[in-house]
Amino acid sequence: MSTYEARLAALREQMEKDGLDGFVVPICDEHMSEYVGDYAQRLAWLTGFGGSAGSAIVLKDKAAMFVDGRYTIQVRDQVDGNLYEYVGTADKSMIDWLDENAPEGSTIGYDAWLHTQGWVKSAEAKLAKNNAKLAAVKSNPIDKIWKDQPEPSLIKIDVQPDEFTGQSASEKRADIAAWLNEEGLDATVIAALDSVAWAFNIRGKDIDNTPVPRSYAIIKADGSAELFVAPEKLTDEVRVHLGNAVSLRDYSDFPTALTEYNEQRVGVDPERSVAAIFGQLEGAGAKIVKKRDPTILAKAIKNDTEISGHKAAQKRDGAALSKFLHWFSCEAPKGGLDELSAAAKLAEFRGESDKLMDLSFRTISGAGPNGALCHYSVNEETNRKIETGTLYLVDSGGQYRDGTTDVTRTMAVGEPTDEMIKRYTQVLQGHIALAQAVFPEGTTGGQLDILARQYLWADGVDYAHGTGHGVGAYLSVHEGPQRIAAFGGFNEPLVAGMICSNEPGYYKDHAFGIRIENLILVERREIAGAEKDMLGFETLTFAPLDRRLIDLAILSDSQRQWVDDYHAQVVDIVGPQLNGDALEWLKQQCQPL
């Protein structure tokens, strides 16, 4: 019996003990985080799936894995198809699958600290039609059978100085208090880890690559707050920084603390707060008002200090990446490189800066067919040689005290095929179209997404991920609420000061992957005679493109000019940080097309 077969059998045995006919296992923690701490990696432990988004449902006689289009190939490589049915969430939701497969009268368990209230209510309504029910478990059955489950991190919290935030924590809480008074609320629950970190100007190391501490907060209309965090994580510096207006309570006190808000009007974000939070407040008689976390938009719209810091971070990050691209151009044709060694070398170049705090996510280092896996994560088992005649895709970033970076480059090793050149050029055309977009205030990312896809669509192909996501300021590399995507109902208007990625791609299964990603800043555009307030993008990321993959016959004159102008900026910004062969290579790569 394999490891994962044994774990699945153990879960079913525990379900039997707990009186459950099924159990839902998401990738999630108590804060609805995209990336979670090791202790919360229940889905990976149970199934072997290493992606950042997915869920499983286990019944007595069958089980299913649910992933979106980014992980269609990866899930088949990592999860045993004899144990789990593969289900694409674009074709069927978890709730619909339960409706079709949960036996009549069955009890399906879920952990109320790992699901939103909206999901719970939808699932309950669907199951009720089949006389089945959803039941919140008192303790997660996986935690009962995961014998060597890691403990949550107790790494000390760090203060993020005002020189990088541009606004003090007390000022941020005062703004939130003013909002609470305008809304007629007594308090609001802040459950998302990056929201807590932003509101209190603190950072942590409880999740790999995302500098947030495991914590909750309740901010009140008088400007005071309660911060829930393990006391072992606090230092004298942090206590002084937080001040007397912030009451410090143990992380484990949070569920009880919610019951203390009886008969008070409490704002709760239904997208970022788990069902258990609603249950605790409702049980205490609190008046819950569903409101978006008040930090979300404020965090997304970067102030001048954050923008300046981000540009400084991008400048040094561009130099590190350019050094890597030069090194790669010399070493890859010799053979001997593989995905792990290339990723390690890129990390080494970034580490030359004493301002690097961490990587911003685990580097996606995809050679040949592995590059076709949008969110591929290399390990010792999947590590592939970088071979001549292939493409190499590297998506990476750094966490610097003054900014978070995220950039993707695709390089040819040896001579690329005509198909590789054509697809790369189409992706580049889409990237340029979005970078050059000018649009009126109120425009959403969803309205702009087609700009990046149009050249691929015209050829009957597409990519199964969004075109752009928000990025934090030494925070989450994926930050909302804005996105540039054709699906998922992303209707958040873009606002000057938001930072997004611009990352169209193309992926040919079992052959190669292409993605070109820069970060872009939404900025105001002054246009003579304009009848509306207009916006556009400023490109923030600077590193050369692979000119061998660009078909000049496909590019328009304006697109060619964009590439030339961009490369001129790369030389101006990155060039002074390089010397010797690397500088000469950069100049050659950035010559006009």
525-562 pLDDT tens trace? 999 999 999 999 999 999 999 999 999 999 999 999 99
- Residues 560, 490, single domain; the answer is yes
Residue 279 lies in a domain: yes
Averaged pLDDT, 15-20 = 95
The C-alpha atoms of residue 477 and residue 358 are separated, in whole angstroms, by 12
pLDDT at 564 over 60: yes
| Least confident range of 86-95, 119-128, 456-465, 583-592 | 86-95
Q: What is the pLDDT of residues 290-313, one digit of tens each?
A: 999 999 999 999 999 999 999 999
Domain final position from 283, 299, 315: 299
Other C-beta atoms lying within 10 Å of the C-beta of residue 542:
25
CA proximity to 192, closest of 474, 467, 448, 479: 479
- Residues 177, 126, single domain; the answer is no
Q: Specify the pLDDT at position 489.
A: 56
Residue 222 lies in a domain: yes
pLDDT at 488 over 80: no
CA proximity to 48, closest of 17, 79, 76: 79
Buried b (16+ CB within 10 A) or exposed e, 479-488: bbbbbbbbee
Residue 21 lies in a domain: yes
Residue 318 lies in a domain: yes
Domain final position from 275, 299, 323: 299
Tokens of 529: 């005679």
The C-alpha atoms of residue 408 and residue 365 are separated, in whole angstroms, by 10
* Beta partners for residue 23, in sequence order: 58, 109
Residue 484 lies in a domain: yes
CA proximity to 98, closest of 68, 140, 133, 142: 133
Tokens of 18: 């707990």
Q: Specify the pLDDT at position 490.
A: 67
- Within 13 Å of residue 221, how many CA atoms lie on the same side as its CB? 13
Cα dist. 284→31, 264, 281, 332 in Å? 21, 10, 5, 63
Tokens of 355: 């301002």
If you ran DSSP here, which 8-state letter would residue 274 be given? B
CA proximity to 83, closest of 64, 57, 66: 64
Domain final position from 97, 117, 145: 145
Q: Specify the pLDDT at position 91.
A: 83
User: How remote is the C-alpha of 159 from its chain's centroid?
Assistant: 23
- Residues 70, 199, single domain; the answer is no
- Residues 287, 242, single domain; the answer is yes
- Residues 404, 293, single domain; the answer is no
- Residues 218, 73, single domain; the answer is no
- Residues in Cβ contact with 442 at an 8 Å cutoff, skipping those fewer than 6 apart: 493
- Residues in Cβ contact with 473 at an 8 Å cutoff, skipping those fewer than 6 apart: 164, 165, 299, 302, 306, 309, 310, 402, 403, 404
- Residues 527, 501, single domain; the answer is yes
- Residues 216, 353, single domain; the answer is no
- Local confidence band at 162 (pLDDT 50, 70, 90 cut-offs): very high
Residue with the larger pLDDT of the pair 68 and 384: 384
Q: Specify the pLDDT at position 395.
A: 97
The C-alpha atoms of residue 398 and residue 430 are separated, in whole angstroms, by 25
Averaged pLDDT, 80-101 = 88
pLDDT at 287 over 90: yes
What is the percent of the chain with per-residue pLDDT over 70, rounded to a whole number? 99
CA proximity to 549, closest of 393, 404, 348: 393
- Residues 137, 184, single domain; the answer is no
Q: What is the pLDDT of residues 406-419, one digit of tens each?
A: 999 999 999 999 99
Among positive and negative, which fits the CA dihedral 535, 541, 547, 549?
A: negative
DSSP 360-426: SS--EEEEGGGGGSTT----TTT--B--TTEEEEEEE-EEETTEE--EEEEEEESSPPHHHHHHHHH
| Least confident range of 128-137, 340-349, 510-519 | 128-137
Question: Any idea what the CATH number is for the domain that residue 472 is in?
Answer: 3.90.230.10
Containing structural domain, residue 75: 3-145
Burial status of residue 19 (CB atoms within 10 A of its CB: 0-12, 13-18, 19 or more): exposed
The C-alpha atoms of residue 171 and residue 190 are separated, in whole angstroms, by 16
Give the number of domains in the chain: 3
Tokens 């709760």, located at residue: 268
Strand boundaries in 19-103, DSSP class E: 22-26, 55-59, 63-67, 85-88
Q: What is the pTM of this model?
A: 0.94
If you ran DSSP here, which 8-state letter would residue 155 be given? P
Residue 589 lies in a domain: no
- Residues 138, 208, single domain; the answer is no
Q: What is the pLDDT of residues 267-283, one digit of tens each?
A: 999 999 999 999 999 99
Strand boundaries in 148-215, DSSP class E: 158-159, 187-190, 202-203
Tokens of 559: 């697109």
- Local confidence band at 74 (pLDDT 50, 70, 90 cut-offs): confident
Q: Specify the pLDDT at position 92.
A: 87
Tokens of 362: 């685990």
Residue 592 lies in a domain: no
Q: What is the pLDDT of residues 211-266, one digit of tens each?
A: 999 999 999 999 999 999 999 999 999 999 999 999 999 999 999 999 999 989 99
Mean pLDDT of the chain: 95
- Residues 140, 20, single domain; the answer is yes
Q: Which amino acid is at 490?
A: F
pLDDT at 487 over 90: no
Strand boundaries in 206-316, DSSP class E: 216-220, 225-228, 246-249, 265-268, 287-290
Q: Which amino acid is at 575?
A: G
- Residues 193, 65, single domain; the answer is no
- 330-337 CB contacts, 8 Å cutoff, 24+ apart: 332/386, 332/392, 332/411, 332/413, 333/388, 333/413, 333/414, 335/385, 335/387, 335/388, 337/385, 337/386
Residue 150 lies in a domain: no
Question: Any idea what the CATH number is for the domain that residue 269 is in?
Answer: 3.40.350.10
